Structure formats: C-alpha cells, structure tokens
C-alpha cells in the first residue's frame, strides 16, 4: 500500500473528522477516568485497589481471562486449521457460527447458561453445578472471547504456500514435525495477537459473568462487576481506580499487539 501526501481541503477535512472521532470516543473517556482516579491523589487510589474485595475481584478476573485466553489459543488454533484446511458438510455454517459472540449480547449468554444449568434448568442434574459458579463464568468467558484467535489465524493459514509443506513431506518429515518446524513459525505472531485479543476481551467481560456468576462479593465478583457495584454503592473513587487499572492494562496489551503485528508484517514482506 502506497502512502500519499495529504493535499486539498477534502483530505484535511477527512483527517480532522477522524481525529475528532477518536478524541470524542477514545481519548475523552480515557482522560476522564485518569482525572477521576487521581482526583484525591495517588494514596487513595492505591488504598482503593488494595482492599480485600478489590484484590479478590482482580485475582478472579485475571485467572478467568488467562485461562480463557489459553483455552482459546489451543482450541482456536485447531478450529482455524480445520476451517482453513478441510472441506466438510456444514463448514460454512460452522464458519459463520464462529462470529456469534460478536452479535449475541453477553447478557443473553449468561441467561441461557442459567436456563440450561440452573436449579430448574434443562441440565439441572449435570454432575458439575455450573449455575452461579466460577466454572460457569469460565465457560461464558471462553465463549465471548472465542472468535479472536480463529479470525487472526484463518487468513494466515489460507495464505501459506503449500510448497514448503510438500518439500518437508518429500524429505520424509512427519505431519507433526512439518507443523512444528514449517507451519507454526508462520503462525506464531498471529496466534500471539489472537491470544492477547482474547485476553483483553475476557478481562473486560461484564454481562455474562455477572449474570451466571451471581456477582457475590469476594466469590464470583470480577473487576468489571466490582466497578458496577462500587458505582451503585456511591463509591466512585474505587470504581475510577479499578477502571484506570483495567484501562492501562488494555493500553499496554494494545501497544504490544501493534508491535507484534509490525514485526510479523516486516517478516512477511522479507519472505516475499
């Protein structure tokens, strides 16, 4: 793609429109969170983040997010491989279903889990009691972060030239050795970005986790549910503090992802 120097009134108006859009929808909320969190100084901010409830919510959020991201890393890689490399009946339908978490409200996901696994649900006798449990929160967190790894890997798998794999097979390499030495290095950057996107999405989940977990303080309360509760309890300083921490973590993830994409893009150019 060739970059062009901006010329003319229309070009500058488009740039001003995009910058204004970004300032209103992206920068303004971030600035308001920073100002609100630091309104009373740094010490109250640290105190709000080190209360037992805040630490418990943070710990649960990070555990769920990490487990969900790693789970989707493995299952997403397998799913992307199947969708990109195999033709089978229902492939298009399955490919479309991958995007379901993008269009279905997380609140509906949490409600469906209650309908299925609640005390009077369809699977009320299921050996593992999922309703209002951390296990159920893990399931819905995996669901809402499902598409990111798959959608990052699919175009990379589709673009891989088959010559390298065929050469490896010709030299006597097994399928596993070919995948590990030839295919996986080409997928590494996309897989890392997909896992990080899944991690960010899982960490920010609210609706499904709040409904299926029951939002019990110190038990099934995540960081986002903590923010909602502290706002309802008229404790905005704690809500601002937790929001700032999650926001900074999301920005750090975004910067790392952009760097990985930049490195992956340069390697792709060099190999062609």
Nearest-angstrom CA–CA distance, 104 and 198: 16
Query: Is 193 in contact with 257 (CB distance < 8 Å)?
Result: yes
Average pLDDT, stretch 220-241? 92
Contact 77, 194 (CB under 8 A): no
Residue that has been written with the tokens 């609640």 in this structure: 118
Is there a contact between 51 and 221 (Cβ–Cβ < 8 Å)?
no
Report which of 62, 106, 50 is spatially closest to residue 250, judged by C-alpha positions: 62
pLDDT of 1 above 60 = no
Average pLDDT over residues 123-148: 85
Write out pLDDT tens, residues 54-101: 999 999 999 999 999 999 999 999 999 999 888 889 899 999 999 999
Q: Is 216 within a domain?
A: yes
Q: Say if residue 169's pLDDT is above 80.
A: no
Closest listed residue to residue 71, CA positions, set 142, 171, 137, 9 = 142
Structural domain includes residue 141: yes
Query: Quick one: average pLDDT of 139-149?
Result: 94
Work out the pLDDT band at 269, boundaries 50, 70, 90.
very low
| Most confident of the following: 63-72, 98-107, 117-126 | 63-72
Residue 71 neighbours by CB under 8 Å, 6+ apart: 142
Contact 231, 239 (CB under 8 A): yes
Query: Residue 65, exposed/middle/buried by CB under 10 A (0-12, 13-18, 19+)?
Result: buried
Q: What is the pTM of this model?
A: 0.85
Q: Which of 25-29, 56-60, 202-206 has the lowest mean pLDDT?
A: 25-29
> pLDDT at residue 3 above 80?
no
Structure tokens, 9: 């009134």
**Total of domains in the chain:** 1
Residue 243 pLDDT > 70: yes
pLDDT averaged over every residue in the chain: 86
How far is residue 62's CA from residue 58's CA, in Å, rounded to a whole number?
6
Is residue 22 assigned to a domain?
A: no
| More confident of the two residues 167 and 203 | 203
Domain that holds residue 96: 42-271
Query: Does some domain include residue 78?
Result: yes
> 17 in a domain, yes or no?
no
Q: What is the pLDDT of residue 140?
A: 93
CATH of the domain at 265: 1.10.3720.10
Averaged pLDDT for residues 150-159: 91
């Amino acid at each position: 793609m060739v970059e062009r120097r901006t010329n003319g009134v229309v070009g500058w108006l488009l740039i001003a429109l995009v910058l204004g859009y970004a300032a209103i929808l992206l920068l303004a909320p971030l600035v308001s969170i920073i100002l609100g969190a630091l309104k009373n100084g740094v010490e109250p901010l640290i105190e709000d983040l080190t209360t037992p409830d805040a630490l418990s919510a943070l710990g649960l959020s990070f555990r769920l997010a990490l487990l969900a991201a790693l789970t989707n890393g493995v299952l997403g890689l397998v799913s992307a491989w199947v969708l990109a490399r195999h033709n089978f009946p229902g492939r298009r339908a399955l490919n479309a279903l991958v995007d379901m978490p993008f269009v279905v409200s997380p609140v509906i996901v949490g409600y469906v889990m209650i309908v299925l696994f609640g005390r009077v649900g369809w699977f009320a006798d299921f050996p593992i009691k999922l309703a209002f449990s951390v296990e159920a929160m893990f399931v819905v967190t995996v669901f809402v972060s499902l598409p990111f790894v798959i959608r990052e890997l699919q175009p990379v798998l589709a673009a891989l030239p088959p010559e390298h794999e065929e050469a490896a097979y010709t030299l006597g390499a097994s399928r596993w050795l070919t995948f590990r030495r030839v295919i996986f290095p080409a997928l590494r950057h996309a897989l890392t970005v997909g896992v990080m996107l899944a991690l960010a999405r899982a960490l920010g989940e609210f609706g499904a986790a709040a409904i299926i977990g029951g939002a019990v303080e110190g038990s099934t309360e995540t960081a986002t549910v903590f923010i909602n509760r502290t706002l309802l309890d008229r404790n905005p300083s704690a809500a601002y503090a937790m929001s700032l921490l999650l926001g900074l973590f999301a920005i750090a993830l975004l910067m790392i992802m952009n760097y990985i994409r930049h490195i992956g893009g340069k390697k792709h150019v060099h190999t062609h």
